[in-house]
């Protein structure tokens, strides 16, 4: 995947957790990586790891539901996060992410669907499970009405 993106591209890792994806990309020469997560502990861990590995990742604690894109990105990643926010919030995120994607850029989105029940530890928080194929449909629309 890293071969598909210019090393100079802006990258954002939304709901980065402790940042394994951001760290991987930084270790592969990407220089402009933004990463945020709701969890201060997770972001602090990513900061510690990036400092110890002498990698530069711009991190902050933030809520995706309030996030606004301020620049164009060559890669927008949202791994394992969107099912934790409401469906209307993740639809809006996807629409905004499309607008914030640079020409030739990539969005990588992974979320749980309702095809298989979520494990009991995350079930209470999994408020935005997608229906099968729903992301594909959502990406075809240019706007979303709640
Ligand atoms: C399963 S982890 C995935 C972490 C990372 N993306 C990865 O692939 O390793 C889900 C992450 O989403 C974060 N998260 C949940 N709701 C969020 C929100 N509203 N805004 C930002 N991050 C959120 C959690 O704190 C958690 O770190």
Around ligand 1, the residues with Cβ closer than 6 Å are 15-17, 20-21, 37-39, 42, 63-65, 79-81, 84-85
Q: Is residue 103 part of a domain?
A: yes
Say how many Å lie between the CA of residue 12 and the centre of ligand 1: 13
Q: How far is CA 82 from CA 77, 111, 125, 135, in A?
A: 11, 6, 11, 11
Task: Report the separation in Å between the CA atom of 21 and the middle of ligand 1, taken as the mean of its atom positions.
Answer: 12
What is residue 2's predicted lDDT score, i.e. its pLDDT?
76
| Alpha helix segments (H runs only) across the chain | 20-27, 40-52, 87-99, 134-140
Residue 57 domain-assigned (yes or no): yes
Whether residue 16 lies inside any domain: the answer is: yes
User: Mind listing the pLDDT tens digit of every residue in the chain (146 residues)?
Assistant: 778 899 999 999 999 999 999 999 999 999 999 999 999 999 999 999 999 999 999 999 999 999 999 999 999 999 999 999 999 999 999 999 999 999 999 999 999 999 998 999 999 999 999 998 888 777 776 554 43
Find the domain containing 104 and state its range. 2-140
**Does residue 146 belong to any structural domain of this protein?**
no
What's the structural domain count of the chain?
A: 1
pLDDT attached to residue 1: 74
pLDDT at position 145 is 42
Domain for residue 51, yes or no? yes
Please report, for the domain that includes residue 67, its CATH number. Answer: 3.40.50.150
CA distance 121 to 56: 33
Domain assignment of residue 13, yes or no: yes
94 contact partners, CB below 8 Å, separation of at least 6? 107, 109, 135, 138, 139
Q: What residues have CB less than 8 Å from 69, skipping those under 6 apart? A: 96, 97, 99, 100
Contact present, 55 and 27 (Cβ < 8 Å): yes
Tell whether 27 is covered by a domain. Answer: yes
Asked, for residue 145, whether it belongs to a domain, the answer is: no
């Amino acid at each position: 995947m890293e071969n598909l993106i210019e090393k100079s591209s802006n990258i954002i890792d939304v709901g980065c957790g402790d940042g394994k994806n951001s760290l991987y990309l930084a270790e592969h020469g990407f220089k402009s990586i933004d990463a945020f997560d709701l969890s201060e502990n997770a972001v602090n861990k990513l900061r510690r790891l990036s400092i110890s590995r002498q990698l530069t990742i711009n991190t902050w604690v933030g809520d995706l539901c309030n996030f606004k894109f301020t620049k164009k990105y060559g890669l927008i990643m949202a791994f394992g996060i969107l099912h934790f926010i409401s469906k209307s919030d993740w639809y809006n995120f996807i629409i905004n992410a499309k607008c914030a994607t640079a020409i030739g850029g990539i969005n990588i989105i992974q979320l749980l669907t309702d095809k298989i029940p979520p494990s009991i530890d995350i079930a209470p928080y999994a408020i935005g499970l997608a229906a099968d194929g729903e992301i594909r449909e959502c990406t075809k629309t240019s706007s979303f009405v709640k």
